[in-house]
Amino acid sequence: MACVGGATFGEIRAARTRWRKHERGAEGATVNDLLKRLRTTAVIVFLLFFGASVVPAQEKPAAPTPETQNFSSSNVQILYGWTFKEPGLSQDVPKNIFTFENTAAWSWGSSYLFVDILRSWSAADANAKEVYGEWYPSVSLRKISGRKPSTGFLRDVSATLGLNSGVRSTGPAPFVVLPGATFDLHVPGFSFVSVGTFAYIDRGRFEGQPTGCEATTYQVTPSWSLPYKAGGAAIGFEGFVDFIGEHADCKAMVIAQPKLTVDISGLWHKPGKILLGVEWDYWHNKYGIEGLHDSVWLPLFVWKI
């Protein structure tokens, strides 16, 4: 999963002040404004789902390696965390998260997509609801040039265009475009290791207005997947770390989401379907706000479709 952002602390505090001053006729986001943002996000999410599902899935998806020509692998995740932070709130905010994730590859490239649906369980956070998605389609330079898989440290280089978009019922509507390159590496024991290097073009909004973070910086994202056996149990350690540069009013951010899972579906002789585990969500300078940090442990349920 991943969380949404895009508003500075001052803007969120100002919006809440305006709401208190106009309880009987608030000039903040109206129901129509919220519905408009939700419709826009729904269209984006539909396009992301459509783009990620153009490759026909196999009955037993192959492991997601750069050498695999065609596969599509999807899963649904359920998580719950108790100690999320939000701007202007001294108390922790519990949230549940539902995630759809898809990884796909075909003859000329690959795609990674996730969509999060989040719900806060805190009156102080207005019981906020969020939808957020990211999509990273890539074109493999090796594949389109007809070269054979490399056996060296650098497996492949891909041109990638990332799209991040979402909406939160309290006002933030992040939108980021990330053109760049992805480097697939060969590391013994790992099913994949990659490093994404992107321009980070922030065009997020708050209640329809610019956030003060409309600028361009960088994002560097290492990601990995390490499968191994422990006492006959299939264990997986995977995750990513986003390093995002300072831009305009937004401070530099670090977002990390490593997870550890164990495959329990082997107990009924259908391995690779149901996983249980734990995920650590860390966000340094959340939303680009200096001093606001998340460090949350979440129990995790994964169903591979």
What residue spans define the domains of the chain?
Answer: 9-304
Picking from 113, 116, 118, 157, the residue whose alpha carbon sits closest to that of residue 135 is 113
Give the pLDDT confidence score for residue 149 in this predicted structure.
78
Token pair belonging to 107:
């003859």
Give the pLDDT confidence score for residue 120 in this predicted structure.
98
Give the pLDDT confidence score for residue 231 in this predicted structure.
83
Q: What is the third-level CATH fold of 9-304?
A: Outer membrane phospholipase (ompla); Chain C (2.40.230)
pLDDT at 26 > cutoff 90: no
The pTM of the full predicted model, rounded to 2 decimals, is: 0.79
Q: Are the CB atoms for 242 and 219 separated by under 8 Å?
A: yes
Token pair belonging to 132:
């957020």
Give the pLDDT confidence score for residue 67 in this predicted structure.
52
Quickly tell me which residue has 């596969």 as its tokens: 71
pLDDT at 293 > cutoff 90: yes
170-225 pLDDT, tens digit per residue, is 999 999 999 999 999 999 999 999 999 999 999 999 999 999 999 999 999 999 99
Q: 21: which DSSP letter? A: H
Residue 166 neighbours by CB distance under 10 Å: 27
pLDDT at 13 > cutoff 80: no
Lowest pLDDT segment from 57-71, 123-137, 140-154 = 57-71
Give the pLDDT confidence score for residue 269 in this predicted structure.
85
